[in-house]
Amino acid sequence: MRTATVLLKGPQVKPHAAVICLCLVLAGVASQQVGARSSSSPSETRRVRAVLAQEVGMFNRRRWEPMWQMYSPGIRSHCSYIRFVRVMRSISNTTGLVTLRNVTVRVSGRRGFARYSIVANGRLVGGATSKEPDVYTRIGGRWFDDFDANGLCPSDDRPSR
């Protein structure tokens, strides 16, 4: 969002002009769509984005144990570490180093939803979309990668309840 600077000089500007300008600015803010406002603080959005960036960094360095710890306890309880390492090694051997592109994060309460593209060697190799976002959950003050439809443990791998 661009901001405008209004310079007020001496008696040339009438007091009413400043009030009119302020009313126009407030009317513009009030006319924004309700959905455009975030229900979370920018710091929570940054924290989710940082977890995602850490995961990619660990993937690129093949640091599976710390990467595994970034998944929620729910994910770790039904996806074995052995399976995790097998899947990550297979992906890493296929793609090599990856980078994130076009990352957007939306936070609502204790849930974070990330959209992004994963690129390797200049080609798209994965990612998360609006329809199937990468889901994060906050437990205590910490964010964890959580269940997502195309993630480590797709929905058909979840134990029946």
Residue 133 is classified by DSSP as P
Pseudo-torsion of CA 28, 31, 34, 36, nearest 10°? Answer: -40
In a domain, 137, yes or no: yes
As a whole number, mean pLDDT of residues 83-92 equals 91
Q: Is the pLDDT reported for residue 110 higher than 90?
A: yes
Predicted confidence (pLDDT) at residue 32 exceeds the cutoff of 70: no
Predicted local confidence at residue 121, as pLDDT: 93
Query: String of b and e for 4-32 (b: at least 16 CB within 10 Å)?
Result: eeeeeeeeeeeeeeeeeeeeeeeeeeeee
- At residue 139 the predicted structure's pLDDT band, cuts being 50, 70 and 90, is very high
Residue 8 lies in a domain: no
Q: Is residue 77 part of a domain?
A: yes
pLDDT at 77: 87
Name the percent of the chain lying above pLDDT 70: 66
Has residue 27 been placed in a domain?
no
The yes-or-no verdict on residue 2 having pLDDT over 60 is: no
CATH code assigned at 90 = 3.10.450.100
**Could you give the CA distance from residue 58 to residue 66 in angstroms, rounded to a whole number?**
7
Q: Higher-confidence residue: 8 or 156? A: 156
Is pLDDT at 12 greater than 50 in this prediction? no
Q: Does a structural domain hold residue 145?
A: yes
Summarize the confidence of residues 117-141 as an average pLDDT: 94
Q: Does pLDDT of 104 surpass 90? A: yes
Alpha helices for the chain (secondary structure H): 15-30, 42-61, 64-68, 73-78, 81-95
Domain boundaries, position 47: 42-149
In tens, the pLDDT along 54-81 reads 999 999 999 999 999 999 998 888 888 9
State the total domains in the chain: 1
Q: How many angstroms separate the CA atoms of 144 and 10, rounded? A: 56
19 within a domain of the structure (yes/no): no
Asked, for residue 126, whether it belongs to a domain, the answer is: yes
